[in-house]
Structure 1
Amino acid sequence: MEIKKSLFDNLQNFFGFDNFKGEQEAIITNIIQKKDTFVIMPTGGGKSICYQLPALMSEGTAIVISPLIALMKNQVDQLRGFGGTESIAHFLNSSLNKSEIAKVKHDVLSGETKLLYVAPESLSKQENIDFLRLITISFVAVDEAHCISEWGHDFRPEYRKIRQVISNIGDQIPIIALTATATPKVQQDIIKNLQMTDSTLFKSSFNRHNLYYEVRPKRNVVKEIIRFIKSHSGKSGIVYCLSRKKVEEISEALKLNGIKALPYHAGLDPKTRADTQDKFLMEDVDVIVATIAFGMGIDKPDVRYVIHHDIPKSMEGYYQETGRAGRDGGEGVCVAFYSEKDIDKLAKFMKDKPVSEREIGTQILKEVIDYAESAVCRRKQILHYFGENFDEAGCGSMCDNCRAERSHFDAAEKLKTTLIMIRELGEKFDDLHLLNILMGVDTSQVSAYQHNKLPYFGSGKADGLLFWKSLLRQALLNNYLSKDIDNYGLLRLTKSGSGFIDNPHFLKFVMNRELGSMDDDFDDPDQQPAGALDTELFKMLKDLCKRMGVEKNLPAYVIFSDPSLEEMCIHYPISIEELKQIQGVGAGKALKFGAPFVKLISKYVEEKEIDRPLDLIIKSAANKSALKVSIIQNIDRHIALEDIASSKGISYEDILREVESIVNSGTKLNLNYYIDEMIDEDRQDEAFDYFRSSEVDSIDIALKELGSDDYTREELQLMRIKFLSELGN
């Protein structure tokens, strides 16, 4: 009773909470009683209080082993904010200088410090071991304990040495291990490695009821992401990418399209990363585009969406990253984009790794593929992966699969046959081998075991691969089979599986979705999307071009080219900002000529009650805009076009095309220094007058009318560029 009162008093006084969440009270009581404790609690469940509160209540200093400097700093700052003194919590890591280390050690020795955060690398240094032997240690908390296991998503070899170091520091020091993601296999590894066989296990449900899960085929992914973010305007979100290069590209694309976004990855200097993190927490930016380096220990409760541009390497990684959404219990949308190309890339990364690591990596990746391609409730699949059974009726349509129309099939007879086949083969093969037998694929392994001579060989061809993948996946999810993860993912019959052979019953399974083949064929920000051209609007815009041309004494095509008008008829821009997104328009032309066009389109959309698409053409990202900027700078410095082309590794035709594109978008370029060298004054005047009076924008017709003996195609292209730049921009 006394402990209970003290717990609640401290919870109220220090953290300002009136009640504990879930099993927090039981966990804290267990630690205070000096018992080894193993806590598996999802992100947002309140793990930190489980070791912070008992540390404040116990004699001595608690050592908290944490993998990331950013995570330590974040927690130490919070504790100092709660406790009111600098000395109550410290961290000891490679970011400190000698005088800072001396200050930490002084506060710890004087008994003022209740929590000392250390990285596993710092913990194993002899000088730190010697120092820790001098103090009273209340307990050791191993945060992110899944880092111990090779089967965990953030394996850190230094975590393997923790037990040995603790034993060197002192006997009978209690340990609390904490993780937000742990499969049964990872749990075993943690317990074995930390020698915590007598520990009390506290495992909360992994179900995050407020998160909505969705997997989309990877098509036009940049546009899809921009469209999604704009439909969640003003809300905080994270976009995860696998590579630093992709982080920079996506971040740039978002910024070019008016979204407040910043990149975050390990290649940026620590100050930039810290500033980016602070801007996100303070809501100066809405979106962080990041590699998995971002997120650990980020205590932002109102992240409203997490997008995976690339499918993650593991289900643990996916669960932890999506878990950063909706930590306050509010809306949390989790969208992942999936394509076979991504899977191929991840598989290639593993080729150079040692065999055992490759085997583990392949199995972990396979779980992600099965999750993405299956039509079964996403929540059921996630929870099954973490050893938790879930009735999909409880999902409440909080995943795309539960919301979708799905086709079912009668599985009883085929499941029974498959289970018998697995039993007859001695339960010694994985699903890929079984699929090859059923589909009649004669691989070297199939023929080595002479399984090509079995009656089962090719017996499932008529049903198709999708059918058998669906059946095996759901046999696992419904516990008729189990996967022996220690032995290369071999499939074993469970008690239910054996029982089903003897007493089969009516059973319906869901057919998988064909997501894997939907590769990102169209992911080019500059590419115009397919769309029906509104011919009525096109005629109206052409007429407006002609009227404005007469008014300004310019050919109609100088106002806006036909390709630009066509795109306006697909996307219906109704503001100058939206008009700038149209190919060949740009800020200059939009401001100079755009107002009447936007007015006409806006009125047309209203009268015809047109449902406008949200996904306007995406402005080209850094790699393409950088080339244009460089060309403009070189022209300003009066460098010959041939030399610019040569320095950029492109042809003369390409440089003319790029310059035309710049001018068409409304940027004024002065090429007189170059044209005067190439074309004499009389021919310049003649060509200029031709373009002023011509009603069509065609170099072929110009060449015909002016004479190919007098002009080359390139000369007329240069003159048209000069004409458009001087009169149109």
Structure 2
Amino acid sequence: MTSAQHILKHTFGYDRFRPPQDDIINAVVNGQDALVLMPTGGGKSLCYQIPALVRPGCGVVISPLIALMQDQVSALRQLGVKAAFLNSTLEPGQVAQIEQDLLQGQLDLLYIAPERLTQARSIELLQRAPISLFAIDEAHCVSQWGHDFRADYLQLSLLHQQFPSIPRIALTATADERTRKEIIHRLDLDSADQFIAGFDRPNIRYRISLKQNAKQQLLGFLKEEHPTDAGIVYCLSRKKTEDIAFWLQEQGFNALPYHAGLDARIRADYQSRFLREDSVIMVATVAFGMGIDKPDVRFVAHLDMPKTVEAYYQETGRAGRDGSPSNAWMVYGLQDVIKLRQMVESSDGSEEHKRAERHRLNAMLGLCEITSCRRQSLLKYFGDILEQPCGNCDSCLEPVDTWDGTEAVRKALSAVYRTEQRFGVNHLIDVLRGGEGEKIYQFDHHRLATYGLGKDLDANQWRSVFRQLVARGYLRVDMDRFGALRLEEQCRPLLRGEETIQLRRDVPKKAGKQTTKTSLPADINVALWEALRERRRELAEDQGVPPYVIFHDRTLQEMCVALPQNLAQFGRLTGVGERKLDKYGADFIQVIENHLAEQPASTA
């Protein structure tokens, strides 16, 4: 491990490994296969990058996204690592040069897309080249039960067949037990060492609220807590991403839409702007985000409920990769539930697949409706136990009020039964509240025993009751009847008076009541901070790379505190390896010296 430790310090600029990085690296260096589950921002990349530098030959990284390949290669080249990628953006001459470098042993790491890897020509090339390891990034894409399924990943078992003596490491931040088993099966990793590093991201504050006026709720959240921060807003439809992005622009935010229906060049341009500019908000469908390395995303907001807990965890995990306080904020409502159930039922999947998706959707609903610590529930889903409530989610910071909903629930279930399970929420509320609408008289529902029995609750309170009954499995949405609610077997004890039930008391929350501290630490001089950021931006622009590829915010903050005034002092900063010390040390020391020269003698 001496060699790995040396590379960690002198190439990457870190003093020590974060467990279990050292164990993973040791296993792969010694030729062992590995399956790695590590949270976003936990340092997965080092687990294959360092073994590739220690072992003889070139490490081949299978990566699903062109943008991710390019960013990682840019970052490695900044460190002096000989890295390259093979994808569709290259000219034939460039491809030929990279292939020649590979065959001559001139590369440390080669990134390649799964669809290119599985071509016969690529296999023949790799069989002639010195290969140190294969790394399969975003390995959950291999699972047909996962939320980012990629058919090309199903063919990656050929690595074990064609290169049986070369170690393979599969990595992901998101996989429940079923998905882990499928990764092992699909990739022939039965003998691999498994490293599950835990899923907790303590710097992320989880907050889930009832959807009232989603646009205004989002606007309040952004203005009060993230007026100048970079972030991602997820929406379920392409049209909604464009509507929200343009509306945010009108509100003065630097917002861009992103979805699979946009021209590829526009998507690439928007993604580049998000990575390279400050304060950009990307309003996107799930087509955006996998593998995004931007470390200073301060918030991820959901205007629609994700389909699965895995998707929610993966998407919220794009916030706060640098470890600084960040927000995962979401609003949801009954219409989200209905829409997602409709998507499940109308899919082309087998009945087994639909059953699995229903289970996952129910788990996501459970996370939304839970009255206890959200982080404990989220981690438990992945088999990770948090002994004490986290103190950094809305349930912990603003404990949920509950009420005895037994009588209201019986009225609601009775209304569903007496209207023959043929109607949706709005009509059922009209029945319970004694409405005078045309449908009430058309179907003689004014004559029902439940007509007018629910005047003690307003329409929003009844929507809350019905939403919670659907979420808990007492009612289901019949998509064949245009969203009609139908009784489930487990509601019988409630209807018979054999059970009682506690419901959440939904109270609209004011955005910003629990703020996340995203301002600079008190001991950092803002003027110096801005000057260092400006120099970083200039250097990044000159080289056509994102600013964080030069240095992360954390390193700039250390500069503000330590005020290094020579290369020896600068080299002791976190994230400063030998290559970056030589390349950038003098530039940033000059900024610091200029700042100190401008200070009064008593404070310099």
Question: Is residue 317 of structure 1 aligned with residue 311 of structure 2?
Answer: yes
SS in structure 2 of the partner of residue 234 of structure 1: coil
Give secondary structure in 2 for the equivalent of 1:235.
Answer: coil
**Partner of 1:329: helix, strand, or coil?**
coil
Q: Give yes or no for contact 2:494–2:500 (8 Å, CA) kept in 1.
A: no
Find the counterpart in structure 2 of residue 362 from structure 1: 358
CA distance in 1, matches of 2:22, 2:190: 22
**How far apart, in 2, do the equivalents of 1:179 and 1:243 lie?**
26
Correspondence for 1:255 among 249, 264, 267: 249
Q: 1:108 to 1:407 in 2, by over 3 A?
A: same
* SS of residue in 1 equivalent to 2:219: helix
- Are the aligned partners of 1:373 and 1:514 in contact in 2 as well (CA < 8 Å)? no
TM-score by length of 2: 0.67
Cα distance in 2 for residues equivalent to 1:434 and 1:368: 11
Cα contact 1:374–1:512 (8 A) shared by 2: no
Point out where structure 2 has 5 or more consecutive residues left out of the alignment.
Answer: 405-468, 477-487, 509-604
- State the AA in 1 paired with 2:146: G
Can you list the C-alpha shifts for 1:366-413, whole angstroms capped at 9, x where unaligned? 21111112212110111011011223x34124333552243499xxxx
Report the 3-state secondary structure (helix = DSSP H, G, I; strand = E; otherwise coil) of the residue aligned with 1:458: helix
Query: For the Cα contact (< 8 Å) 2:25–2:51, is it kept in 1?
Result: yes
**Counterpart-to-counterpart distance in 2, 1:188 and 1:374:** 28
Deviation at 1:93, TM superposition (A): 2.2
Secondary structure of 1:395's aligned partner:
coil
The counterpart of 2:198, out of the listed 178, 202, 205, is 205
Q: C-alpha distance in 1, partners of 2:499/2:286?
A: 33
Q: Deviations over 1:640-691 (max 9, x none)?
A: xxxxxxxxxxxxxxxxxxxxxxxxxxxxxxxxxxxxxxxxxxxxxxxxxxxx
Match of 1:461, as an amino acid?
Answer: L
Q: Which amino acid aligns with 1:458?
A: R
CA distance in 2, matches of 1:147, 1:66: 10
Q: Which aligned pairs between 1:415-434 and structure 2 lie closer than 5 A?
A: none
Matched, 1:399 2:433: no
Query: Within the alignment, does 1:305 sit opposite 2:299 as a pair?
Result: yes
Amino acid at match of 1:40: L
TM-fit CA distance, 1:97: 2.9
Alignment of 1:255-274 (within 5 A): 255-274=249-268
Map 1:166-185; keep pairs closer than 5 Å. 166-185=159-178
Alpha-carbon offset, residue 182 of structure 1:
1.0
Shift of 1:458: 2.8
Q: Report the AA paired with residue 80 of structure 2.
A: G
Indicate the SS of the match to 1:242. coil
Q: Is the 8 A contact 2:366 2:472 kept in 1?
A: no
Q: Distance in 2 between matches of 1:465 and 1:306?
A: 39
The answer (yes or no) to whether the contact 1:211–1:332 under 8 Å persists in 2 is yes
For 1:272-283, list aligned pairs within 5 A.
272-283=266-277
Partners of 2:400 and 2:147 lie apart in 1 by 33
- What is the alpha-carbon distance in structure 1 between the residues aligned to residue 362 and residue 326 of structure 2? 26
Q: Distance in 2 between matches of 1:347 and 1:434?
A: 14
Q: Deviations over 1:34-79 (max 9, x none)?
A: 0011110000001011101111111111111111111111111111
The 1-side partners of 2:491 and 2:214 are apart by: 40
Map 1:598-613 to 2 at 5 A: none
Residues 1:368 and 1:457: Cα distance change in structure 2 (over 3 Å): closer
Relative contact order (alpha carbons < 8 A, sep ≥ 6): 1 or 2 greater? Answer: 2
State the partner residue of 1:90: 84
Tell whether 2:234 aligns with 1:234. Answer: no
Partner of 1:377: 373
1:274 to partner: Cα distance: 3.0
SS of residue paired to 1:171: coil
Among 4, 11, 15, the residue aligned to 1:7: 4
Give the counterpart letter for 1:357 in structure 2: H
Tell me which of 120, 143, 146 is aligned to 2:140.
Answer: 146
Letter aligned with residue 73 of structure 1: Q
1:41 maps to what in 2?
38
Give the aligned partner of residue 461 of structure 1: 495
Indicate whether 1:132 and 2:126 are aligned.
Answer: yes
- Partner SS state of residue 6, structure 1: helix
User: Is the Cα–Cα contact under 8 Å of residues 401 and 505 in structure 2 kept in the other structure?
Assistant: no
For residue 327 of structure 1, what is the amino acid of its counterpart?
R
Note the C-alpha offset of 1:282: 3.1
Letter in 1 for 2:377: Q
CA contact (8 A) 1:379 1:399 kept: no
Partners of 1:464 and 1:123 in 2: CA distance: 61
Equivalent position amino acid for 1:113 in 2:
L
Letter in 2 for 1:378: R
Match of 1:23 in 2: 20
| Residue from 489, 504, 511 that aligns with 1:513 | 504
1:180/1:157 CA distance change after superposition, 3 Å = same
Take 1:99 and 1:21, find their aligned partners in 2: how far apart are those partners?
41
SS in 1 for 2:79: helix
Give the partner amino acid of 2:48: Y
Show the 5 A alignment for 1:519-668: none
Is this contact kept in 1: 2:59–2:108, CA < 8 A?
yes
Contact 1:36 1:174 in 2 (8 A): yes
Code of the residue aligned with 1:68 in structure 2: it is L
Answer yes or no: is the 8 Å Cα contact 1:160–1:193 preserved in 2. yes
Determine if contact 1:221/1:337 at 8 Å carries over to the other structure.
Answer: yes
Q: Measure, in 1, the Cα distance between the counterparts of 2:471 and 2:204.
A: 35
Query: Percent same amino acid among aligned pairs?
Result: 41
User: Partner of 1:459: helix, strand, or coil?
Assistant: helix
Residue 345 (structure 1) aligns with = 339
Closer/same/farther in 2, CA of residues 457 and 48 from structure 1, 3 Å limit: closer
Question: For residue 151 of structure 2, what is the aligned residue in structure 1?
Answer: 157
> Mind listing any 5+ residue stretches in structure 1 that lack a counterpart?
410-430, 440-450, 468-510, 519-729
- Compute the RMSD of aligned alpha carbons: 2.8
| Number of the residue aligned with 1:671 | none
SS at match of 1:141: strand
Counterpart residue type for residue 372 of structure 2: V
Structure 1 residue 170: Cα displacement:
2.4
Aligned to 1:643: none
1:122 maps to 116
Residue 222, structure 1, aligned to residue 219, structure 2: no
Aligned residue in 1 for 2:51: 54
Residue in structure 2 matched with residue 75 of structure 1 by the alignment: 72
Other structure's SS at 2:128 match = coil
**SS where residue 85 of structure 2 aligns?**
strand
Say if 1:457 and 1:230 are closer, same or farther in 2 by CA, change over 3 A. closer
Q: Kindly state the Cα deviation for residue 251 of structure 1 after the two structures are TM-superposed.
A: 0.3
Q: 1:408–1:185: structure 2 CA closer, same or farther, 3 Å change rule?
A: farther
Q: CA deviation at 1:352?
A: 3.6
User: What SS does the aligned partner of 2:298 have?
Assistant: strand
Structure (1 or 2) with the larger CA radius of gyration: 1
Contact kept in structure 2, 1:93 and 1:122, CA below 8 Å:
yes
**1:473-522 superposed Cα distances (whole Å, 9 cap, x missing partner):** xxxxxxxxxxxxxxxxxxxxxxxxxxxxxxxxxxxxxx45366x99xxxx
Counterpart of 2:14 in 1: which secondary structure? coil
After superposition, what is the alpha-carbon deviation per residue over 1:449-487, rounded to whole angstroms, capped at 9, x for unaligned?
xx98xxx983333669993xxxxxxxxxxxxxxxxxxxx
Q: 1-side partners of 2:267 and 2:112: how far apart?
A: 21
Residue type of the partner of 1:459? P
- 3-state DSSP class of the match of 2:319? coil
Q: 8 Å contact 2:493–2:499 — kept in the other structure? A: no
